[in-house]
Amino acid sequence: MLGVFQGLKITIKHFFSPKVTRMYPYEKRVLPERSRGLIQLITEPETGVLKCEACLLCEKVCPPRAITIRYEERNAFRWRPLARPKSKAAYYRPREVAAYPYEGPRPLSPMVLAPVSEADGDDAWLDGLLEEQGDLVGALRAIQERYGHLPRRVLMKLARNLGVSVSELFSSASLSPDLRLDPISDGFVAGATNGDSSALVLPGPQALQAVERQPNPSQGGGASGAE
Partner 1 sequence: MSEAEILPGQTEDGSLPSVFTEEFSLNLGPQHPSTHGVLRLLVRLSGEIVVDCKPYLGYLHRGVEKILENRTYMQGIRYVDQFDYVSGMLNEHSYVGAVERLMQLEVPRRAEYLRVVVDELSRICSHLVAIGTALLDLGAWTPITYCFRDREEILDLFEELCGSRLNFNYHRVGGVLFDLPEGWVAKCLSFLARFERSLDELEEFVNGNELFIARLVGVGVITPEMGIAYGISGPSIRGSGVNFDIRTYRPYSVYTELGFEPQLATAGDCFARYLVRMAEMRESVRMVRRALEGLPEGPVRARMPHYLLPPKGETYFSIESSKGELGVYLISDGTANPYRVKVRPPSFVNLQILPELVKGQKVADIVAILGSIDVVMGEVDR
Partner 2 sequence: MRPLISVARRPTPDSRLVAAAEIVRGHLGPRLLSISYQAGDILCLEVDRSDLLATATFLRDAPELRFDFLSCVSGVDMVSHMLVVYHLHSLSNRLTAQLKVKADAREPVVDSVSAIWPTANWHEREAFDMLGIQFNGHPNLERLLLVEGFVGYPLRRNYQLPRRRWPHGRMVEEGGPVDERS
Partner 3 sequence: MTEFVQQVLSDPTVQRVLWLIVTLLWSLLFLLTSVLILIWGERKVLGFVQDRYGPHHTGKWGLLQSPVDALKMMTKEDVVPLLADRVVFWLAPIAFFAPVLAAFVVLPFSDVLVGADLNIGLIYPLALGSIGVVAIIAAGWCSNSKYSLLGAFRSAAQMISYEIPMVLSLVPVLLLSNSLSLQSIIRQQEGIWFILVLPFAFLTFFICGLAETNRAPFDFPETESELVAGFMTEYSGMRWAMFYLGEYGNMIVVSALAATLFLGGWQGPLLPGIVWFIGKVYVFLFIFLWVRATLPRVRVDQLMDFAWKWLIPATLLNIAVVATLALVFPSGYLIPIGIANWLLSGGFVWSLTRYMQGRVEKSKRLAAAWAPMGTAEVPGKIVVAAGEGVLARRS
Residue among 16, 23, 188, 195 that touches partner 2 (CB under 8 A): 188
Within 10 angstroms of residue 122's Cβ, the number of other Cβ atoms is: 6
Tell me phi and psi for residue 43, to 5 degrees. Answer: -115, 160
DSSP category for residue 5: H
How distant is the alpha carbon of residue 36 from its chain centre? 19
118 is a contact residue toward partner 1 (CB under 8 A)? no
Question: Should residue 63 be labelled a site residue for partner 1 when binding is judged by CB under 8 A?
Answer: yes
Site for partner 1 contains 67 (CB under 8 A): no
Q: Tell whether residue 141 is a contact of partner 2 (CB under 8 A).
A: no
181 vs 201: CA distance, rounded Å = 49
Q: Of 18, 25, 32, 134, which lies in the binding site for partner 1, with binding defined by CB under 8 A?
A: 32
Secondary structure class of 189 (helix, strand, coil): coil
Q: Does 187 bind partner 1 (CB under 8 A)?
A: no
CB neighbours of 97 closer than 8 A, spacing ≥ 6?
106, 111, 112, 113
- Interface with partner 2 includes 18 (CB under 8 A)? no
Options 11-19, 127-135, 195-203, 214-222: segment touching partner 3 (CB under 8 A):
11-19
Binding site for partner 1 (CB under 8 A): 1-4, 6-7, 10-11, 14, 20, 31-37, 61, 63, 190, 192-200, 202
